[in-house]
Amino acid sequence: MSGPPATLRVLWQAVLLQVGLSRRSPEHALILLIAPLQTTTMLALAVTADRPDVVANAVLAPGLIGLWVAALDYAGRVVTEDRWMGRFTPMIAAPVPLGLVVAGRVATVVLVGAAAFAESWLVAALGFGRVLTIADPPLFAVAVAATCLATVGTATLISAVFVMSRAHEVLQNSLGYPFYILGGILVPVAVLPDWLHPFSRVVFLSWSAELLRDAVHGDGHGWAWPVAAILGLGAAAMAAGLWLTRRYVDQARREGTVGFA
């Protein structure tokens, strides 16, 4: 396999594979049940406290949480589930890099998670009568697209880390709420203690949350740097995920553990 056309074909076939697997086991659609409940909770708190200034965050936060849940709880288990279901052996026997297949399948799950943004908006509009107006729609679209791409890269890395770890369930359970805080999802990074700011800036969600809020309020001046940071962190995660996946495949072949679950 060589060249961009071949790479795109592999990614597309991986997407079709994941669509077929999800049809038979549609637990990935459970992501779509999370955003409405979280939006209802957050908006109820904002309305009860008479805080119209936090309505935008109450609508945007569930969308970002939906993406992270898609990356962590579903996309991150792609290779691990393949091993348990007996799909791992034929996949690495195919003459294509397993990392690309994982990336394509992860992207499918992440796209489902991205629907959480639309769900949150609908819950706010229909359930609470709070229509979130986006002051800068083009910037908002760019921010969502960049965030989805970064989520795909991060989920590819998470998938590789989980399959190489003996305690992937512990990791999975511990990478939720800390990233909601560090990512500035629940509260803006600016209100966190100063010593946490450097850690927040290596989490792409912190840039995404700020950029989405700026797009809603029309304060998107100097948006190029946040977009570059989101895409750069996502690309770095993708590169690390592909490298770890390749290393894992090589190790499984070398040690004769390809067929072990």
CB-count exposure of residue 71 (10 Å: 0-12, 13-18, 19+): buried
Average pLDDT over residues 122-132: 89
pLDDT of residue 150: 95
pLDDT of residue 28: 64
Q: What is the CA radius of gyration of the chain?
A: 19
This prediction has a pTM of 0.88
The pLDDT tens digits for 54-109 are: 888 888 998 899 888 888 877 777 777 777 777 777 777 777 888 888 888 888 88
Contact (CB, 8 A) for 27 and 183 = no
CB-count exposure of residue 58 (10 Å: 0-12, 13-18, 19+): buried
Higher pLDDT, 14 or 254: 14
Q: For 224-239, give the secondary structure using H, E and C.
A: HHHHHHHHHHHHHHHH
